[in-house]
Amino acid sequence: MDNKLEFAQRLREAMVAAGMEPRPSILLQQFNVHYWGRSVTFQAVSRWLRGEAIPGQDKLVVLASLLHIEPEVLRFGEAVRRSVRESRQRWDQGVGYLERETFDAFLQLPLAQRKVVREVILTFAKAHAQQDKPVANIVDVPPPPEPSASRAIVVIPTPVQSTRLKTKPRARKGR
């Protein structure tokens, strides 16, 4: 089903649960009383209830408050909320004090250092994953070929080296 249609269904159900008849005129009146921004039109509310549009976040928060429901449940449904809760429980159960302390320290690092730490962790994880594989599944990768005389050596300048080429000005002919 389309996200807009699913939202419309949740909106109608929330209106009924809040004791309102799911009609645009009723929602329009209640919404505009509680919304501090520019009033919405009958057509806009009708589009919400028909599944043709989803209101912006500011309007969604007012709708949720009006209907006594959480904004994320109104927008995305209870399934998303459950999956977030399950993910959080798994995180809370699997991580101890030392790991949390390490994550906090990681988050305090500058971005460049975070990138280095991330690469180190991923390298260790890949190495660990390869150790857990049976020997028959590991494919031997041949070493890279030795450089030959026909290959060019490319020098990549570092920030310390100058990348500007020093050339002599060309002499002009005949002027």
Task: Quote the crossing angle between the two packed helices 42-50 and 24-34, to the nearest 10°.
Answer: 120
Assign 79 a pLDDT band (cuts: 50, 70, 90).
Answer: confident
Tokens encoding 38 = 């520019």
pLDDT at residue number 44: 96
- Residues 16, 67 contacting (CB under 8 angstroms): no
Whether 145 has a pLDDT exceeding 60, the answer reads no
- Residues 55, 67 contacting (CB under 8 angstroms): no
Strands (E) across 13-96 are located at: none
CATH of domain 3-81: 1.10.260.40
Domain ranges (residues) in the chain:
3-81, 96-133
pLDDT tens figures, 5-14: 999 999 999 9
pTM over 0.85: no
Assign 81 a pLDDT band (cuts: 50, 70, 90).
Answer: confident
pLDDT at residue number 138: 46
Lowest mean pLDDT among 6-10, 65-69, 76-80, 158-162: 158-162
pLDDT at residue number 97: 80
Percent of the chain with pLDDT over 90: 50
Query: SS3 of 69, please?
Result: coil
Lowest mean pLDDT among 94-108, 136-150, 160-174: 136-150
Highest mean pLDDT: which of 51-55, 91-95, 140-144?
Answer: 51-55
Beta-carbon count within 10 A of 97 CB: 7
pLDDT tens figures, 95-137: 788 888 888 898 999 999 999 999 999 999 999 888 876 544 4
Highest mean pLDDT: which of 27-31, 128-132, 152-156?
Answer: 27-31
What is the spatial distance between Cα 38 and Cα 115, in angstroms, rounded to a whole number? 44
